[in-house]
Structure 1
Amino acid sequence: MNLTRYDTATINKFSVDSQTGFLHVSNVPIARVGVFPYIGKSGQITMEAKLPDDLLTDSAVESANSKPVTDDHPQESVNVTNTNRYMKGLTANNAHVDGDKLKVDMTITDSALIKEIQGGKQELSIGFQTDVVPVKGTFKGMAYDSAQKNIQINHVAVVKRGRAGHSVRLTGDSAEMVIDDSQEKGTSMETTKIRLDGADVTVATTDAERILKLDADNKANNSKIAKLDAQIKALTAERDKLKGGADANKKSLDEAQAKADSLEKELAAEKKKFEGDALDQAIADRMALIDEVKPYVGDSFDFKGKSPKEMKLEAISKTDSVDLSAKSDDYIDAYFDSIKNRNNSGVVGYTGIETNVKTDSVDNKPAKDRYHLA
């Protein structure tokens, strides 16, 4: 945002040319780097920084050369269309940097203004254009809200008193930045002291009430900020707590997913057992086992849904009346094989082999009857 600013300094030493009567001021500081208060027309105070990289550049320094000197600040920028009305003198062409200050010589040519200066009107206030960039920071321990960039001096005004009174006027060989703009020609301003943050500060009397209100509002805002900060800390702690619970839940979910993945792989392995030829072989093995078990358990036994182990245990139970369910699969398999090798007369439902030989009526060859199961 490009704005017009007015900063004040005091005429330090001056001399009058004996031939022309012009008043000449040498090596006057008109600006320095630092952080300074500005009061807008709305009464709001902002702290703006003139940083070395902005004020002490070649462009800003050269802008102080050969610029109009005016009696108070005009209501507009000085240019070729209004110099007859506003210009009362001219700065020299020797603007330069001295430490952290910008200095220049100047000559006053207007007799009325010379008399006012000799009578005590000795403060200088530069009028300049600048881009005020809203960027926060600190310079030499002073906090600022904005920084002035692209500083270009338009004129140097001779004024009675800076907008904020003598507490911020330039004294000796230093330069002090002051306050805003709308200074009326010939207007004097009364000052008063108010207490801000435990210190006495001199301000314009007309601004005192507004500044105190702003200070009170600022303290109220700081209180609100502190409360909000406490709420944010509480919410942050609650968030961290919830995050911890979420991390624990995620661990449980990960463990459950790992188990599910393991079971899925196990299921896939089981499915492979019943694919293609493996399925045919599994069916053949089961039918063969049923044929082996049936003589021991009888035709009434329901084989549906029974595992090979369950069928063998049932056969063993029917044969020896023992419960081997707690034994290993290898033990059960061996025991079942042993009962198969026993005398077939002990098999449930087995009636033995008929030995009577029949003669086939056709070829007279003997034939044995098949086994008969109950």
Structure 2
Amino acid sequence: MQRYDTVTIHAEKTDEGFIRDKPIIGRAGLLKYINADGSTRIEYRPPEEAFNADSLASLKGKPITINHVAMVNAGNAPKLPIVGTVLSDGIQDGNNIRADISLYSLPTDARELSCGYNLNLDETPGTTPDGQHYDAIQKDIRYNHIAIVSKGRAGNARLNMDGDQVFNEDEYNDDADLTTEQRKKLPKTVFGLPDKMAYPMPDKDHAANAKARAAQMLKTGNLTQQEYEQITKMADGILSRKDGVQMDKIRLDNGIEYDCSPEVKIAIEKYRTDNAEQKKKIDTLQAKYDSSEAAAKKVKEDAEKADKAHKENFDAAVNARMDILKTANQYKLDKANKMTDKDIKIAVIKKVNGDALDLTDKSDEYINAAFDMCKATQHNDAAASVRAKINGAAGQAEHNDDDEYDYIAAAEKMRQDEANAWMGGAK
């Protein structure tokens, strides 16, 4: 994550016209940020992080730019307005951080310093040792550059050159040289408290003055907190203007904040909202697509399984029918192709046994067993042997109450005998 914080410096010129100083460039404590939705976010920079040796050492050699254009690197440095360098590590000065700097030029009316840095943000809320609330803690701060800006965040130092006076909250107690006549001519809309015609803010100088006086009046009890916040909000809006244009703060997803016009902020926020809505729609469509794809895959697999099973069953049925027709042909049955499988089996059994075997009310298993004993034997002299086996089984059946069981057992014994013969004879 990246951050920009702002403080001020007091500077002097060298004989060569360079600007040298050892300004405050940062501090420990609470820092206020404005979220994209306009809400306030308080981040805490504890002393152990602000004055960490590695963090302070990261200041040395870093460039000084005009405004925050980007995080500086070797690739973009030639294109950036770099006007100076940090000459030393940072050092602790009470609650502040100072560093030696050198400015080659100052082509701007801005007089505040703002640090650009990377950090890790622990978004665990809590309270400071003195009981103040914060929303997150800044950790592992590493500096990238310092920028000269018109308005910063830290609020405890500003650049002064050649007697130039810059707003300081503890120095102003008047209306910035407004005459009574000038003051009376101002519309109510330029006053921080319009109903009282108090704290005039026709321009940046008066806005800075109004903000400073409001801070003093709040401390002395002559101003309510609500009035102070009203004045400060109006003053900050005026002070954030550039070239007469009201500027807003926009915080990017990487944590960097930039000044931009209200129109740009509105466009970016609309883009963010639209992008979020589009993402929701895409996620919904993706979920539907994934579900449809899974369903289609299952339908395809089920169809393939059904097709395979149908083919196997069909092939088995065709083979069985052909086998039965072959047996019917062996026994010279007429019009067997028009007969059902069961009718062919019964006809073959009668061909072998004549009417000696009564098949009335016999089960399919009985008929199948009798047919199996007949189908491998052609209608020739071998039929007598088969008939003898069958008649013998039937004769035995006369001494048994369960004809089906005896006949089926005889068929099974025949299968075993054939198997033993194929294996070389029963053992």
Q: TM-score range by the shorter chain?
A: 0.3 to 0.5
Larger strand percent: 1
TM-score, normalised to structure 1, is 0.43
Is the radius of gyration larger for structure 1 or structure 2?
A: 1
For CA contacts below 8 A with separation 6 or more, give which structure has more relative contact order: 1
